[in-house]
Amino acid sequence: MSSRQRRIGIIGLGPKGLYALERLGDRLHDIRHSPVVLHLFEPHPTPGAGPVYDPSQPEHLRMNFRSEHVDMWPRSEGARLRTRPSFLEWARDRHPRWSAPHEFPPRALVGAYLHEGFQRVVAELPASADLHIHRARVQTLPRTGTEWQARGRFGAVALDEVLVATGHASRSAAQRPPPLPSVVPQVYPVDRWLSPGRIPPGSVVAVRGFGLTALDAILTLGGSEPSRRPLRIHPYSRSGRPMQPKLEPAASTASHRELEWIRTAGAEHFARAVNLEGILDALVRCAGEVLERRGWTGNGCERGREACRRHLRELLSRPKGRIGGEPVWNALTRGLGEARGTRLWGPERALGETWRGVYPTLVAVLGDSRLCEMEYPRFRRLAREMERLAFGPPAKSVEKLLGMVQSGLVDLTFLDSPHVRMRSETILLSTSARSASADRLVDAVLDPPGAAPDGSSLLTELLRDGHIRTEAGTHGVEVRPDGSAVGRDGATTPGLAVIGRPTEGRVLGNDTLSRTLHDHPQRWADKVSRGAR
């Protein structure tokens, strides 16, 4: 091999890895460069989609991201981009039923779009790129001299540049349920992990978590044929608080003025914020005005602000339990009514819609490092609570859940942080008032973002070796604007970059399908292509 050839590796070909590959391919087309050797590492059979968007999954697993926002191609100038379809354009041609802009499409359909995009990117790579695809996981990534050694079942591959886009990290042993036959360790793809072979019909199932993944697990188990369903499903979570359903298309159309105001005038308030108190003040100010616009009469803006301020104060001071003591059934039905336009918005809806509307501005504000280190723990707490209110499931999914609760299939008794014990092959759930046993435990809590020091992931190894470091108070990997990793000593680690979910916590909003919030893939491709000139 010529010494001028660059050996480039991308570890993880989910959406983020795919975006980086697409940008690198375009940059190599646009510049004069020496031949490069490109190694792609992805164990899942559908690169681009990964297990979360596996195309084989059923249609009831819906995105909480509208069709109009799904687009794997950056919309900049260029002849090639004119022939590259957005998801909407692709769906109109292939699946017209799902081509409405405001629809929440199935995960499987988005996965098919992403996988087809991956195949196109690979087909369009320049002839000067010597491509190798490894259908296996990279187990270790030591650095020897000036090169990285990617090692796994495929052997060892020497690399000059490595991009890590592995998505979810690995929890510590203390955070994971014990590895027993009665424990189902993950949810996606559901046709593999939630099959009758793993969860026998008629069994009682405990579901750990009550977020989007847990809801997908519950809808899958409860939506199967009656003869294949569990007898009962007991979800439980750390906080006991449900996510707020997204506005339905008709309701969001009726609220267009309010939402447009949030994205414009509301964003201006956040853009002027110089610290956490400024962000909190802007959030309350905007949410209060939204409530007035939604019908809070009689000095509605001041009443709305005070209601939002009280609600926000309780959110940030209580780690778990219902806000104001509201039962979870009431919270779910209220949220569903607001989502469909049949109920007046309350403080939770106003806060959540405000946060969602100004999210791009928040990403820019935090990118300017306007918060001091002491403010970050409280801001992360705020972001976690607002995620529940702003980025919840489609309303139809919540409606199905409520139907399963009414039928007795889903029991919400143990939702709020019960005592959980494993006894032989039985899971015991108990509160001060009630107890129950389950035959199976589905772990529907996704591994956290970042690199856990006591986990078992590739990122954990890089952290222990000092090639990456995490932000104080979070596991988010610290990176430069082009994704280059920052090592233990504060210097840039040569030839190593990290993008996507591993940086979440340090970088706001990186765990998303959106291509517009961050430009790490573009900057990384620019840097790597310069090295190949």
Q: Dump pLDDT digits (tens) for 444-455.
A: 998 777 777 766
Task: Locate the domains of the chain by residue range.
Answer: 6-170+448-531, 183-240+404-443, 249-390
Q: In this predicted model, what pLDDT tens digit does every residue of 181-223 receive, in sequence order? A: 789 999 999 999 999 999 999 999 999 999 999 999 999 999 8
pLDDT for the residue 187: 94
The dihedral formed by the CA atoms of 42, 198, 237 and 177, expressed in degrees to the nearest 10: -70
Question: The tokens of 531 are what?
Answer: 């090295």
**pLDDT, greater one: 76 or 338:** 338
Per-residue three-class SS string for 275-333: CHHHHHHHHHHHHHHHHHHCCCCCCHHHHHHHHHHHHHHHHHHCCCCCHHHCCHHHHHH
pLDDT at 249 over 80: no
Question: The tokens of 225 are what?
Answer: 């044929």
In this prediction, what percent of the chain has a pLDDT beyond 70? 92
Q: Which amino acid is at 91?
A: A
pLDDT for the residue 423: 83
pLDDT band (50, 70, 90) for residue 300: low
pLDDT at 299 over 50: yes
Decide the pairing of beta strands 492-498 and 484-486: antiparallel
pLDDT at 231 over 70: yes
pLDDT at 224 over 50: yes
Closest CA to 47 of 3, 95, 11, 71: 11
The arithmetic mean of pLDDT across residues 142-162, rounded, is 94
To the nearest 10 degrees (0 to 180), the angle between helices 347-357 and 359-367 is 60
pLDDT for the residue 369: 64
Decide the pairing of beta strands 426-430 and 435-438: antiparallel
Q: In this predicted model, what pLDDT tens digit does every residue of 118-143 receive, in sequence order? A: 999 999 999 889 999 999 999 999 99
C-alpha to C-alpha distance for 496 and 230, rounded to whole angstroms: 46
pLDDT at 388 over 70: yes
Please, are residues 325 and 232 in contact by the beta-carbon 8 Å criterion? Answer: no
pTM across the whole model: 0.90
Q: In this predicted model, what pLDDT tens digit does every residue of 405-421 receive, in sequence order? A: 999 999 999 988 789 99
pLDDT at 8 over 80: yes
Please, are residues 17 and 169 in contact by the beta-carbon 8 Å criterion? Answer: no
Residue 158: beta bridge partners? 149
Q: Is 412 helix (H, G, I), strand (E, B) or coil?
A: coil
Of the segments 69-83, 94-108, 255-269, which one has the largest average pLDDT value? 94-108
pLDDT for the residue 370: 67
C-alpha to C-alpha distance for 520 and 359, rounded to whole angstroms: 18
pLDDT for the residue 1: 42
In this prediction, what percent of the chain has a pLDDT beyond 90? 54
pLDDT band (50, 70, 90) for residue 400: very high
C-alpha to C-alpha distance for 74 and 67, rounded to whole angstroms: 16
For 220, phi and psi rounded to 5 degrees?
-70, -50
pLDDT for the residue 516: 82
Continuous segment of H or E residues that includes residue 17? helix 15-30
Q: Which amino acid is at 323?
A: I
pLDDT at 173 over 90: no
pLDDT for the residue 368: 59
Average pLDDT value for the chain: 88
Q: In this predicted model, what pLDDT tens digit does every residue of 328-366 receive, in sequence order? A: 999 999 999 999 989 989 999 999 999 998 998 888 877
Same fold, 6-170+448-531 and 183-240+404-443: yes
pLDDT for the residue 109: 97
Question: The tokens of 142 are what?
Answer: 């030591």
Between the CA of residue 354 and those of 244, 374, 376, 387, 390, what are the distances in Å? 13, 25, 20, 11, 8
Continuous segment of H or E residues that includes residue 521? helix 520-531
pLDDT at 320 over 80: no
Q: In this predicted model, what pLDDT tens digit does every residue of 370-383 receive, in sequence order? A: 677 788 888 888 98
pLDDT for the residue 123: 95
C-alpha to C-alpha distance for 237 and 214, rounded to whole angstroms: 10
**pLDDT, greater one: 259 or 523:** 523
Q: What CATH number labels 6-170+448-531?
A: 3.50.50.60
Please, are residues 357 and 512 in contact by the beta-carbon 8 Å criterion? Answer: no
Q: In this predicted model, what pLDDT tens digit does every residue of 13-68 receive, in sequence order? A: 999 999 999 999 998 887 776 789 999 999 999 999 989 999 999 999 999 988 99
Please, are residues 185 and 177 in contact by the beta-carbon 8 Å criterion? Answer: yes
Q: What's the distance, Cα to Cα, between the start and end of the chain in Å? A: 16
pLDDT band (50, 70, 90) for residue 253: low
Q: In this predicted model, what pLDDT tens digit does every residue of 488-524 receive, in sequence order? A: 999 999 999 999 888 887 787 776 788 888 889 999 9
The class of domain 183-240+404-443 in CATH terms is alpha beta
pLDDT for the residue 2: 46
